[in-house]
Amino acid sequence: MLTNYFKIAIAVLKRRRFFTFISLFGISFTLTIIIVLASFLNHLFSPSYPDVNRERELYVLDIKLTSDKGYMYKGQMSYHYFDQYISKLKTPSKIAMASEPKSTNAYVNTKKIIINVKYTNDQFWEVFQYDFLEGKPYSKQQITSGEKLIVISEDTRTAYFGEEENVVGKYLETDNVQYRVAGVVKSVPKTLRYNFADAYLPYTEAKVNHASKGYEGIFYATLLADSKEDIPAIQDEYQQMVSKVQLNNDYNNIQSFADSYVTLFTRQSMGNSSDSDDSGALKTFTIAGILFFLFLLLPTLNLVNINISRISERASEIGVRKAFGASSKVLVVQFMIENMILTLIGGIIGVVLSLVIISIFNNSNIVDNLHLSVDVTVLLYSLLACLVFGFLSGVYPAWRMSKLDVVTSLRA
């Protein structure tokens, strides 16, 4: 039965090739965009090098200080805040501290190289699993002793030392300071905001007043749990700690949250930074769902109109089949299967096109070190979207088909 339906579907598709082309183009183009976008989102939000422990991490990105006098500060924390409060949390297994990348200059034979430097503590290298191509990270003892050490990316090694390998122990000068290379790590794409840098330095090298008792600064923290089950306990402990923070005369209220990676994004985009319960996740996913629905709606309506036109052309065929006893149910099932076959063909084309586009993107180095991929999950969701697409675009035309009058159909 399915073989016959498939043969009929192929014959129908060949009958009006222009309409078939428009249908397949709409389906494949839509699915291509969905797959490429899904691959990018998968890269952003799924655990990947070097943030392989993301499901066990919480981020404390910023703090918000307010006062009755109208003063307000919303930004990253100082070393004092991290040292006096965050580092004393009991439930996290490891606590990383780092800054956003800061641009500095280095020179090689009068050629200027811009190096994005991230300042970190020693546990940064334990929370995030960087692949060391050479050497090793700096330790807590080396930071305390004030050693001028630097960890550089593979790209920085090439830019500064050329194709030379084994650069551990050599010196790199940036901001007029000589640093000894402690290690070389595999490069990270800029899209991974909390991991990307061209070079990594001990936090003591940051040009800030580490002795300041204020809470405004340049650092953020990442809390690593032993297991996902410990996440709520860490969040509770952090909120209890925040409630005990001693504020100076300028501020009388502080708000800060330990959020998962996704919640961090939704709180910044749609959430309420003053309410721990309003992370913005519901708003973000609702808007994303609406946009996704509207994105699918246009090609669906286009395919519905094309399918209705096909039904009009096949009115005599439908009339003959009804005259020989074919029920409306049989005809509806046949048309739905035909439409599903059409969408599956478009889906296969869409998958192939998306793989080609992703391959071109990866080889183009538009974003250095960014390599998108299509995993099994993305393909399964794409197949599901394709089936839903075929079902939605076939329901109404199939219903119209079932209502055609035999006599009127035979006269067509």
The residues spanned by each domain of the chain are 2-46+283-411, 62-258
Report pTM: 0.81
Query: Under DSSP, is residue 74 helix (H, G, I), strand (E, B) or coil?
Result: strand
What is the overall mean pLDDT for the chain?
84
Cα–Cα distance list, 226 to 57, 122, 189, 235 (Å): 9, 18, 27, 14
φ, ψ dihedrals at 38, nearest 5° = -65, -40
- What tens digit of pLDDT does each residue of 313-368 get? 666 666 666 665 666 676 677 777 777 777 788 888 888 898 899 889 888 878 88
Cα separation of 143 and 147, whole Å?
A: 6
Share of the chain above pLDDT 70, in %: 82
pLDDT at 21 over 60: yes
Q: How confident is the model at residue 230 (pLDDT cuts 50, 70, 90)?
A: very high
Could you read off the pLDDT of 30-50 as tens digits, one per residue? 888 888 888 888 888 888 999
**355 burial class (0-12, 13-18, 19+ CB within 10 angstroms)?**
middle
Q: What is the mean pLDDT of residues 292-320?
A: 69
pLDDT at 269: 67
Instruction: Give the Cβ contact number of residue 37 at 10 Å.
Output: 14
pLDDT at residue 310, as a whole number: 66
Q: Provide the 8-state DSSP code for 204.
A: G
At residue 219, the 3 state secondary structure works out as strand
Evaluate whether 148 touches 171 at the Cβ level (below 8 Å).
no
Residue 273 has pLDDT above 60, yes or no: no
Torsion of CA 352, 358, 360, 362, to 10 degrees: -150
Whether the per-residue pLDDT at 272 is higher than 80: the answer is no
Q: How far is CA 170 from the centre of its chain?
A: 37
Q: Is the pLDDT of residue 412 over 60?
A: no
Calculate what percentage of the chain has a pLDDT beyond 90: 42
Instruction: pLDDT band for 385, please (50, 70, 90 cuts).
Output: confident
- Residue 403 above 70 pLDDT? no
pLDDT: which is higher, 225 or 290: 225
**For residue 278, is pLDDT > 80?**
no
Note the pLDDT tens digit of each residue in 112-158.
Answer: 999 999 999 999 999 999 999 999 999 999 999 999 999 999 999 99
**pLDDT over 70 (residue 280):** no
What pLDDT is recorded for position 210?
85
Residues 59-105: pLDDT tens digits? 999 999 988 777 788 999 999 999 999 999 999 999 999 999 999 99
CB 79 within 8 A of CB 208: yes
pLDDT value, residue 264 = 84
Q: Which residue has the higher pLDDT, 296 or 216?
A: 216
Q: At residue 194, does pLDDT exceed 80?
A: yes
Q: What is the pLDDT of residue 387?
A: 74
More confident position, 199 or 394: 199
